[in-house]
C-alpha cells in the first residue's frame, strides 16, 4: 500500500500496553530512499520526550483510527537510548539503538533492509529475542561495530526536504511537495513535484531512482529528465488512491521499467 508522507505524520503510535505518542517527523536514508525511523513525541507520560521508532517494530496501520501498532511496551520505549532527534543521528547512536532493542543492522546487505526487502524479513529469526539480546556472537558483533562505527548513516528529515527545488536537465520544474511511501517495504517510491511555479501546472510523481544529485546545502534536487517530459507526465491526484495501473502509466511515459518488475 502506498501512502503520502503527510498520512504517516498524522499517525498515533500504539504500544502493546498503551499509546506512546504521535508521529512528528520521519527520517529517511538518502542512499536507499527508505524510511528508517519515525520521530514520535511521547506526550505528558514521558515529559514530551521525542523517541525514535523503527519500522522493524511496526505492525499494520489502521487508517480509519490513524493508529500504527508497534511490538513494543511503553517501558521499553521509556528506557530506550536518548537520541536528540533535532540533530543528526550518528552510526554509533544507531548501533546503540539497535543493540538495545535486539535488532539486526539494516545496513550492509543488498536489500532495503539488510538482505531483505522489508523490515519483517530482516527480523526473521530474531522474533524470540528480548530487548538487549542478539543472535550474533559477541566477538562478531564487536568486529561489526568497529567496522561501521564511522559510517555516514545518510539520515535526512522528511519535513526538511519539503519545498526543495526540483531541477530538470534543462531547467527548474517546481518544488518537492511531499513523498509517497510503500508501507510494506517503507521505501520511498515517489517524490511529489508541484510544477505550479513553472506553468499553470499540476503535481507529478518522480521515482527517487531518477535523481541525479541532491544539494542539501542549496535545497535542490536534480533529476535525469527534461522539463518537457515532466510537463507531459501523467497528473497526480493527491485525493485519489494510487494504484498499479496509474504507476504503470508513469513508467510507460518515461519508457522505463517499473520497480515491481525488478522485485524491489
- 162, HSE (Cβ side, Cα atoms, 13 Å): 13
pLDDT by residue (tens digit) across 78-90?
A: 999 999 888 889 9
User: What distance in Å separates the CA atoms of residue 32 and residue 48, rounded to the nearest whole number?
Assistant: 31
Query: What confidence score (pLDDT) does residue 52 get?
Result: 97
Measure the N-to-C terminal CA separation of the chain; round to a whole number of Å. 14
Q: What is the pTM of this model?
A: 0.89
pLDDT by residue (tens digit) across 195-235?
A: 987 777 799 999 999 999 999 999 999 999 999 999 999 99
Which of 253, 261, 248, 216 minimizes the C-alpha distance to 233? 253
Helices (H), the chain: 5-8, 74-78, 91-101, 119-122, 138-148, 158-161, 227-231, 244-254
Q: Is 191 helix (H, G, I), strand (E, B) or coil?
A: strand
Query: What confidence score (pLDDT) does residue 34 get?
Result: 97
Contact predicate 178/6, CB 8 Å: yes
Query: What confidence score (pLDDT) does residue 146 get?
Result: 52
Ranges of the chain with pLDDT below 50: 127-143, 148
Query: What confidence score (pLDDT) does residue 149 get?
Result: 52
Amino acid at each position: 500500500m502506498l501512502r503520502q508522507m503527510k498520512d504517516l505524520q498524522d499517525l498515533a503510535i500504539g504500544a502493546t500496553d498503551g499509546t506512546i505518542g504521535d508521529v512528528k517527523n520521519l527520517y529517511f536514508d538518502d542512499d536507499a530512499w527508505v524510511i528508517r525511523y519515525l520521530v514520535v513525541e511521547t506526550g505528558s507520560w514521558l515529559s514530551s520526550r521525542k523517541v525514535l521508532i523503527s519500522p522493524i517494530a511496526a505492525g499494520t496501520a489502521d487508517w480509519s483510527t490513524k493508529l500504527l501498532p508497534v511490538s513494543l511496551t511503553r517501558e521499553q520505549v521509556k528506557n530506550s537510548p536518548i537520541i536528540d532527534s533535532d540533530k543528526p543521528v550518528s552510526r554509533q547512536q544507531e548501533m546503540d539503538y539497535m543493540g538495545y532493542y535486539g535488532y539486526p543492522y539494516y545496513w550492509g546487505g543488498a536489500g532495503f533492509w539488510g538482505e531483505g526487502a522489508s523490515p519483517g524479513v530482516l527480523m526473521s529469526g530474531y522474533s524470540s529475542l528480548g530487548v538487549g539480546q542478539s543472535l550474533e556472537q559477541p566477538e562478531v558483533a564487536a568486529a561489526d561495530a568497529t567496522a561501521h562505527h564511522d559510517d555516514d548513516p545518510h539520515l535526512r528529515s522528511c519535513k526538511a526536504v519539503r519545498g526543495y527545488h526540483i531541477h530538470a536537465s534543462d531547467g527548474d520544474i517546481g518544488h518537492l511537495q511531499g513523498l509517497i511511501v510503500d508501507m510494506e517495504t517503507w521505501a520511498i517510491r515517489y517524490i511529489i513535484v508541484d510544477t505550479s511555479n513553472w506553468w499553470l501546472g499540476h503535481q507529478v510523481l518522480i521515482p527517487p531512482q531518477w535523481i541525479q544529485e541532491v544539494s542539501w546545502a542549496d535545497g535542490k534536487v536534480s533529476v535525469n529528465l527534461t522539463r518537457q517530459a515532466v510537463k507531459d507526465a501523467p497528473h497526480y491526484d493527491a485525493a485519489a488512491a494510487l494504484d498499479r495501473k496509474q504507476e504503470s502509466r508513469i513508467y510507460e511515459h518515461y519508457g522505463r521499467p517499473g520497480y515491481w518488475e525488478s522485485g524491489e
